[in-house]
Chain A
Amino acid sequence: MDLATFGVQLLNAIQYGMVLFLVASGLTLVFGILGVINLAHGTFYMLGAYIAYGIVSATGSFWLAMIGGVAIAFVAGLALENVFIRRLYGRDHLAQVLLSFGLILVLDDIRQVVFGKDVHSVRPPEFLSGSIQLTANMSYPVYRLAICGFCIAIAVLIFLVIQRTKIGMIVRAGAENREMTRALGISFDQINRYVFAVGIALAALGGIVVSPISTVFPGMGDGMLILSFVVIVVGGIGSITGAAIGALLIGLTDTFGKVFFPTFSSVLIYVLMAAVLLWRPNGILGRREV
């Protein structure tokens, strides 16, 4: 493999990892702060992509698709939290797993009704299409670079909100010690709703963002869900930095795996996970058992 190809694949791996991180961070957000495992997270990734396709087909504007898609996901998240998710707080994992599974079945059929089973692709915005010449013999699609930049920007934004704003402080306090924070008079109903909606929106955003470079198909949500889980398990329990590392590792493994071991590339990721579990059961940056 020559340097140019290696460079391109490396960038692909990083870009893929960034999207994984975006989606996985939505999942960790919901799990870390609300204590709920939501299997339907992948479904929102898929729905984001389909909604992007729908809006772009109807209006031709990718920006509208992005804004519209995120807005729809956010509102849907608020509604779902209010109706279903808040009944899961404090309940056992089996209940959470099965309720979110039920949601997947429902949302899948809704997608079927609205968009059918067809496979689509979406055109990226004009000024982001085309390639940029990075070195003498290596050019790279602008859009993919834009994705990397965008995901980093979102990650920084979330970090700033959580660490530097009042609402972020409340969210962190609630994650640490819900009883105490409640005793201080802070009501969590609103906050829970927003946290869940943001988590879902991140998944949808991931789907919207990849729709120009990846096929939009019904099963894409499942794949992303599992990968998000692997990212969290590999990167470490309770660590956002760990999730970033995990996402990058998975991105690298998957991308280079497809190059060198095309048939086994999907399995490689799980081999990586198995190796991490043998070495550090709590993930690379996970908190060790006291």
Chain B
Amino acid sequence: MAALRPWLVMAVLLVAAVALPFVVPTYYVQFASKVLIMGILAMGLNLVVGFGGLVSMCHAAFFGLAGYMLAIATPKYDPASFWVSFPLAVGVAALAALIIGALALRTRGVYFIMVTLAFGEMLYFLFHDTSIAGGSDGTFVNYKPEIAIAGRMLVNLDKPLIFYFTVLVFLIATIALLTMLVRSPFGHALAAARDNERRARSLGFPIFRLRLMAFTISGAIAGVAGYFAAAQFGYVAPQMLGWHVSATVLVMVLIGGLRSVAGPLVGAFVLLGLEEYLKLATEYWKLVEGLVVIAIVLALPNGVRHLLTAVLGAPQEPADDQTGVAGAKHV
């Protein structure tokens, strides 16, 4: 019975997600799309932070880079082809993650944090100071990308409902991918390196390669999110790559719980919902948000995982014993 519960919860959430756009006003559908997009970004980041044990402060750069690729690939008077722009955006994000990861992973602990922060800022400055794609002003994504085959449109991303469902499909795919990774030998090795790097190394695991693979995949996922964020918002600016965005996504990861695959999605929902509410309530919403973040860090060392576990069951623990008891859950 304990093993059934996670699937039940997943099914319920899925039904809710599918039904949502039919029962709420359009504005909230767009908000929900935004939550799903940031959820994808946060879950991707968590592969590195929660499962890898590395605090990366540059994922917004991969996110923004992909968005910029879409903007650059979109002609002035036509939509970009999804089949071209999507692989381009995700590919460039992954490449950036590969290069930055190869350099950053030569360092450890706090220095890794500093280095990722610095490289993220480097990309920010690249778009801010040069005239690439509008420089500090940013640039528009004139049309949403077109998903078509042989001239016939398959999916019309201009409609908020369709856009939402498209993003939902990618969200589910991301969850499936991450779940697979976490349960695989790769995922177990990554967690081992997190828990005791020395021991993992002395057993023979190629730690650098392992972490670089995780970092690159995580960057690619951030790229997926960035692509759709740019498509939805219709505009990209250097701020998208800024480290404040990276830090905000980390907050989502913390809220949702580091040891669970889909927890960060919940974190995205909570934080974005909070922001929406605060922005309406007060001019100094940043101050309140700052206090909330501080409170969460101090009061809930494991994020709201405690609250979540009560409702959803124990989080995914990759290094579980073979008997699979203790309600191992894959969400």
Q: A and B bound?
A: yes
**Partner-B contacts on A (CB < 8 A):** 31, 37, 39, 84, 87, 91, 93-95, 97-99, 101-110, 112-113, 222, 226, 229-230, 232-233, 237, 263-267, 269-271, 273-274, 277-278, 281-282
Q: Is B159 an interface residue (CB 8 A)?
A: no
Say which residue of A93, A106, A237 sits within 8 Å of B291 (CB atoms): A106
- B residues within 8 Å of A by Cβ? 49, 55, 57, 103-104, 106-107, 109-111, 113-115, 117-119, 121-122, 125-126, 128-131, 243-244, 247, 250-251, 254, 258, 284, 286-287, 289-294, 296-298, 301
Chosen A-B contacts, 13 in total, with CB atoms closer than 8 Å, are A95-B297, A97-B247, A97-B250, A107-B290, A108-B286, A109-B284, A109-B286, A109-B287, A226-B121, A229-B115, A233-B107, A266-B129, A271-B122
Q: How many residue-residue contacts, CB under 8 A, span A and B? A: 127
Q: Are B110 and A31 in contact (CB under 8 A)?
A: yes
Partner of B55, one of A94, A110, A273: A94
Q: In the complex, how many angstroms separate the beta carbon of B151 from the nearest chain A beta carbon?
A: 41
B103 touches A264 (CB 8 A): no
Identify the closest chain A residue to B282 (Cβ): A109
Contacts A105-B286, A263-B129, A266-B129 hold; do A277 and B106 have CB atoms under 8 A apart?
yes
**Would A98 and B107 count as touching, CB distance under 8 A?**
no
Q: Determine if B294 and A103 form an interchain contact, defined as CB atoms under 8 angstroms apart.
A: yes
Return the chain A residue nearest B109 by Cβ: A93
Report yes or no: A93 in contact with B55, Cβ–Cβ below 8 A: yes
B287 touching A274 by the CB < 8 A rule?
A: no
A95 to B301, CA, bound (A): 8
- Does B103 lie within 8 Å of A101, measured CB to CB? no
Q: A34 to B129: give the CA distance in the assembly, Å.
A: 36
**B298 with A87: CB separation less than 8 A:** yes
For the complex, what is the distance from the CA of A266 to the CA of B123, rounded to whole Å? 10
Task: Specify which of B107, B125, B243 is in contact with A281 (CB 8 Å cutoff).
Answer: B107
Residues of chain A lying within 8 A (CB to CB) of residue B121? 226, 270
Beta-carbon contact of A93 and B113 below 8 Å: yes
Q: Could you tell me if B247 and A99 are in contact, using CB atoms closer than 8 angstroms?
A: no
Chain A contact residues: over half helix, strand or loop, or mixed? helix
Residue on A nearest B107 in the bound complex, by CB: A281
Contact for B293 among A99, A265, A267, CB less than 8 A: A99
Residues of B within 8 A of A267 (CB): 122, 125-126, 129
Return chain B residues, CB-CB under 8 Å to A226.
117-118, 121, 243
| Shortest distance from the beta carbon of B153 to any chain A beta carbon, whole Å | 40
Chain A contacts of B250 at CB under 8 A? 94, 97-98, 101
Instruction: Tell whether, in the assembled complex, residue A98 and residue B251 are in contact, meaning their CB atoms are under 8 Å apart.
Output: yes
Nearest 8 pairs of A and B residues by beta carbon: A105-B290, A102-B293, A270-B122, A109-B287, A106-B290, A281-B106, A102-B294, A229-B114
Residue of A nearest to B287 (CB): A109
Structural contact, B251 and A101, CB atoms closer than 8 A: yes
Q: Contact check, A97 vs B57: say whether CB atoms are below 8 A apart.
A: yes
Among residues of A, the one whose C-beta sits closest to the C-beta of B290 is A105
In the bound complex, how far is the Cα of B208 from the Cα of A281, in angstroms? Answer: 13
Q: Chain B's nearest CB lies how many Å from the CB of A27? A: 10
Residue of B129, B289, B290 with most chain A CB atoms under a 10 A cut-off: B290
Tell whether, in the assembled complex, residue A106 and residue B254 are in contact, meaning their CB atoms are under 8 Å apart: no
> A93 contacts which chain B residues (CB < 8 A)?
55, 109-110, 113
| Residue numbers in A under 8 Å from B128 (CB-CB) | 266
Known: A105-B289, A233-B115. A84 touches B294 (CB 8 A): yes
Across-interface contacts of A107 in B (CB, < 8 A): 290
Cβ–Cβ contact A278 & B114, under 8 A: no
**B209 shortest CB reach to chain A, Å:** 16
Residue of A with least CB distance to B303? A94
User: Closest Cβ of chain B: how far from A196's Cβ, in Å?
Assistant: 16
Complex Cα–Cα for A133 and B189 (A)? 65
Given contacts A99-B294, A105-B286, A107-B290, 18 further A-B contacts (CB under 8 A): A97-B113, A99-B298, A102-B289, A102-B291, A104-B290, A106-B286, A109-B290, A110-B287, A232-B111, A232-B114, A233-B111, A233-B115, A263-B130, A264-B129, A271-B122, A273-B115, A277-B107, A282-B107
Which residue in A31, A103, A281 is a CB contact (below 8 Å) of B290? A103
Q: How far is the CA of A101 from the CA of B57 in the complex (A)?
A: 12
Provide the residues of chain B in CB contact with A103, threshold 8 Å: 290, 294
CA distance in complex: A263, B125 (Å) = 9
**A39 proximity list for chain B (CB < 8 A):** 247
